[in-house]
Amino acid sequence: MDETARKKLLEEYAASRSQELREKIILEYAPLVKLVAGRLSMYLGYNVEYEDLVSYGIFGLIDAIDKFDHMKEIKFETYASLRIRGAILDQIRKMDWIPRTIRQRQKKIDSVMKEIEQEKGRAATDEEIAQGLGISQDEFLDWQSQMKVTGVISLNEFMEQGSDVSQEYGRGTTARFDSPEENIEKKELSKMLAKALELLTEKEQKVITLYYFEELTLKEISNVLEVSESRISQLHTRALQKMKTQMGSYMDVLHNV
């Protein structure tokens, strides 16, 4: 179904609230749920089944279908993506399955990385971080594989703060143009992102680029780089930790790419 047909389908449903049309829309946009669930699975690793994420996302899609106002100048796909992501993260939050020990380890890693970087004026190496934590490099690798779970926390915060799209939709804005201040901020963000990428190894740069900008899935990146999915997940976690020191609060931009 092309974009015009999908738009017409949404308009017809808005007018009739037909259960049959609603089911058609759900089937039409089911691939969008799978896409959002697949991207979130990178953060959650193997801690939550992909199929479960999809099922949580379906509720978000249904919510988007019922609440979408086609009279406002925003694509349904954009609005639905936010609702789908929000539904998945809300369910994850309710499950509260992130162990306290993992949260504590993340704080320790962040603290040690910050100390090393302030002392040496550069990004901390894995060896230095492990030494600062008083653990072996193998144990640190195990910690890193667990840390990807905490990525959902920052995603939750991002959703709660709201993105430009969701705020724009709520205001009923029909058009949006960047102010001079926003243009300056975008330029600053581009510089910070470039500097943050310089902190990464070549392989880490490839993972970030393929995942956030080429929108490949974990499995697809694994095939491209010819390494295991668990290794890609590990590289992704390590890259985000390094970039966080450079970008700070600007890290939110990656969650909205």
Considering only residues 74 and 165, tell me which one the structure prediction assigns the higher pLDDT. Answer: 74
The answer to whether 99 touches 150, Cβ cutoff 8 Å, is no
Share of residues in the chain with pLDDT > 90 (%):
20
Considering only residues 248 and 156, tell me which one the structure prediction assigns the higher pLDDT. Answer: 248
| CA gap 202, 217 in Å, rounded | 19
The answer to whether 64 touches 79, Cβ cutoff 8 Å, is yes
Task: Say which residue the tokens 């320790």 belong to.
Answer: 108
pTM: 0.51
DSSP 27: H
Q: Same domain for 127 and 199?
A: yes
Residue 19 binned pLDDT confidence (cut-offs 50, 70, 90) = very high
Task: Check which CATH number belongs to the domain holding 191 and give it.
Answer: 1.10.10.10
What the block records as the tokens of 46 is 């193997």
Instruction: Please give the backbone phi and psi of residue 63, each rounded to the nearest 5 degrees, phi first.
Output: -60, -40
Write out pLDDT tens, residues 173-228.
333 334 444 444 556 666 677 777 888 888 888 888 887 777 677 778 888 888 88
The residue out of 66, 95, 124 marking a domain boundary is 95
Q: Same domain for 151 and 228?
A: yes
**28-55 mean pLDDT:** 81
- What is the pLDDT at residue 253? 52
The answer to whether 70 touches 11, Cβ cutoff 8 Å, is yes
Q: Same domain for 89 and 186?
A: no
The answer to whether 179 touches 164, Cβ cutoff 8 Å, is no
Write out pLDDT tens, residues 227-249.
888 788 888 888 887 887 677 65
The answer to whether 240 touches 212, Cβ cutoff 8 Å, is no
Q: Same domain for 198 and 120?
A: yes
Instruction: Name which of 21-30, 90-99, 162-171 the model is least confident about.
Output: 162-171
Domain range for residue 60? 3-95
Q: Same domain for 104 and 72?
A: no
The answer to whether 32 touches 80, Cβ cutoff 8 Å, is yes
**106-111 mean pLDDT:** 84
- What is the pLDDT at residue 118? 87
